[in-house]
Amino acid sequence: MLGDRLALLKRDKILNLCILGVCTIACLFVSFAFVSYFGTSGYDLPECNLPVVDVDSVSYEEFKLFNTDAEGDRLKPLLPNIEKNLIYLAFNSRPDYTDNEREIFFGLKGVGNMIGVKSFEKMYFHCSDVDEIAFANEPTPYWIEPRLLTNGSLVVLFRVQYKDCDDSVIYELTEERKIEKPVGVGNLCDDFSTLHSELSKSKIFGKDKVIELYGGDSFSNIKNCYRFEKCQNGSVIYINDGDILYLSEDGWVKESVDARNKPLLLIKKFNNDKCEYTIWGKSGIYSESKTLPIEKSTPLTVKQSELFSKLHFRSDKSVTCHINNCSIILREGDWLLSSKNKWKTMCSLNELNNYLTYKLDGKLFIFDGIERRADKDYFIGHLFDEQRTCIQKIELPLREKKIQKIKKK
């Protein structure tokens, strides 16, 4: 009986030891889990939403995910150093975009690609616990919100927001940085040499003196404008400071379908004998500025009495004269065009339109009329060169009127 009792006690002792071992192991496991979750000195952030990426080729000395506070009672996230990790590369500076429409392009140190966002849009990052950072295609606790200023500088909000597994915000921090200017990326894809070459084949002429002097209200929008003659087909566009042209299949035009996907030319200003311009490619992140010469015209120095001879008063609004040894009757308001050294009065509206749209060219004389001064009549008009950029006033005295006496029978 005693042996049976001892055997029973021995079995109970072994059973108790087993239970004690299991409990000890369980306690150790719970303690380890508790320390892992809450940390050794206070409440720490759960890692359930902390994104981790492997970026083998990137290293950042200044970037630290966690930093011990002054009391040392817990760990907190620290914002990355934006000046040393995030690079403001460029922005779309084309003048046909508003500030809120422009894309702003960023890069990261040690990373070859660049990412673009617009003002007030979020750009997310992946951050790992081995001091690595990379662009993210989905929302993460780390992001920036840039705002582009008119002068090209940036105000950047750099934000951190941690949430627990229940999607409750447990930590957030915002810092503001200002970046004065982009570092620049150069020309990545646009063939600027071809664009400049095409422009160099075009011509720019001075202000159209015919339209400037005789154009009515219907020409008010092109008065005092310069003329851009396209090399593709010789057609003319009127341009002035601040005008924008787009390169289409028909050459440079002022308006175009899908214009933002075409190279852009900004006429900056006309300065004496040249035109200053800036050209952008499709992306708008790179531009080049150059100048085009304004075509020179030889001033008119025609001897008036040789061009118009044998001037005779015909009526209050008409004269007879010889021009290039050809007799002609001129009436007030007549337009005479010289073509192949022959002068011809333009009589039809079609001829006038063809001349004004540069389908006809040549020297032009406009007879303004007869002007009476100090009991003397003068033949008044204006002569223009072929390019209509030079003008010469014609003013010649008319012979006295002959009064015929009627003999009485």
pLDDT tens per residue, range 245-281: 998 888 888 988 889 999 999 999 998 899 999 999 8
Give CA separation, 352 vs 129, 245, 321, 358, 390, in Å: 79, 28, 23, 10, 19
Residue-wise pLDDT for 348-391, tens only, equals 999 999 998 888 989 999 999 999 888 888 999 999 999 999 99
Q: CA-CA distances (angstroms) from residue 65 to 60, 160, 169, 197, 379?
A: 11, 11, 18, 52, 90
Q: How confident is the model at residue 79 (pLDDT cuts 50, 70, 90)?
A: low
Q: How much is the pLDDT for 81?
A: 53
Q: Which residue has the higher pLDDT, 356 or 85?
A: 356
Average pLDDT value for residue range 219-225: 90
Q: Output the DSSP codes for 112-137.
A: --EEEEETT--EEEEE-TTS-EEE-S
- Dmax over CA atoms of the chain, in Å, equals 189
Residue 24 confidence class, pLDDT cut points 50, 70, 90: low
Indicate whether this model's pTM tops 0.75.
no
DSSP summary character for residue 360? S
- Alpha-carbon distance of 261 to 248, in angstroms, equals 10
pLDDT of residue 243: 95
List, as own/partner pairs, every contact residues 59-63 make where C-beta atoms lie below 8 angstroms and the sequence separation is at least 24, other chains included: 59/110, 59/131, 59/132, 60/84, 60/85, 60/109, 60/110, 60/131, 60/132, 60/133, 61/131, 63/127, 63/131, 63/132, 63/133
- Please tell me which residue, 256 or 66, carries the higher pLDDT value: 256
Tokens of residue 204, six digits: 């720019």
pLDDT, position 391: 94
Of 291, 271, 270, residue with least CA distance to 279: 291
Lowest mean pLDDT among 14-23, 36-45, 244-253, 310-319: 36-45
Q: Of the given ranges (28-32, 112-116, 385-389), which has the lowest mean pLDDT?
A: 28-32
pLDDT of residue 325: 81
Residues 251 and 262: their CA atoms lie apart, in Å, by 11
Helix or strand (DSSP H, E) at 11: helix 2-38
pLDDT category of residue 131 using cuts at 50, 70 and 90? low
Least confident of 55-64, 159-168, 186-195: 55-64
| One-letter amino acid for residue 286 of the chain | Y
* Rg, Å, the chain Cα set: 42
Q: In which band, very low, low, confident or very high, does the pLDDT at 330 lie, cut at 50, 70 and 90?
A: very high
In the prediction, which pLDDT does 399 show?
76
